[in-house]
Structure 1
Amino acid sequence: MEPLARLGRATLDALTVLLDSDEPRWGLELIKLTGRPSGSVYPLLDRLERAGWVTSHWDDDVLRPGPRRRMYQLTPDGAVAARDALRQAARETGRARGGWAAQPGAGTVG
């Protein structure tokens, strides 16, 4: 599995949806659940798959009407990496929100 050079907000949103699911998700479902456009979601799914974070397969349900769906699921290593990435993003967001004023005694005039 390859590390990802960049984990943007859309990627983090998709990883969250995939982590929260016990079943594979299809692309359009990920688009709806993340609120991200297809032009963001499909390229990031491809990037995640090439890096080994995600695996995909075609849905073979012949009884379901409509076009075939491509199903996406985190690999075991991808799930670990996704949890780590989300924890890191949460820490960075907390630092960005808190800034120096969150430090005890910061911003006080003596």
Structure 2
Amino acid sequence: MEPLQRVTAPTVDVLSILLESAGPVFGLEIMKRSGRPSGTVYPILERLERQGWISSEWEEHTDTQLRRRRVYTFTPEGAVAAREVVARAQGAS
């Protein structure tokens, strides 16, 4: 897992939402809960996944007509690191 080079307020928002969630979270939910646009949220999710903080998979809806959606969850190391980043950011504000 790579460390984050730059931690912005939107990144802290995304990490916080993922930490608060009991299970996998889909991108639209992160956008709604954070108030951040897709052009902010999805690049953050992509970067977090590329650096090994989170993983994602397609959630299939075979029993409904909902479209499939990508859900995100922390890797074990990513969850530990995210708690540290969020705590540091909250302590700084």
TM-score normalised over the length of structure 2? 0.94
CA distance in 1, matches of 2:28, 2:21: 15
The whole-number CA distance in structure 2 between the counterparts of 1:64 and 1:82 is 34
Q: How does 1:27-66 map to 2 (within 5 A)?
A: 27-66=27-66
Measure how far apart 1:67 and its partner are: 1.8
The answer to whether the 8 Å contact 2:61/2:67 transfers is no
In 1, distance between residues paired with 2:52 and 2:41?
16
Query: Highest Rg: 1 or 2?
Result: 1
Q: Which runs of 5+ in 1 are unaligned?
A: 94-110
Q: Secondary structure at the match of 1:83?
A: helix
> What displacement does 1:60 show?
1.8
Whole-angstrom distance in 2 between the partners of 1:65 and 1:81? 37
The runs of 5 or more residues in structure 2 that have no matched partner are none
More relative contact order, 1 or 2 (CA 8 Å, 6+ apart): 2
- Paired positions, count: 93
Alpha-carbon deviations, 1:23-45, whole Å to 9, x = none? Answer: 10111111001110000000000
Question: RMSD between aligned alpha carbons?
Answer: 0.9
How far does residue 15 in structure 1 lie from its aligned partner after superposition? Answer: 0.6
Distance (whole Å) between structure 1 residues aligned to residue 69 and residue 58 of structure 2: 6
1:21 is aligned to 21
Which TM-score applies when normalising by structure 1? 0.81
Counterpart mapping for 1:1-110 below 5 A: 1-93=1-93
Q: Which has the higher strand share?
A: 2
Provide the C-alpha distance between the structure 1 equivalents of 2:83 and 2:25, rounded to a whole number of angstroms: 18
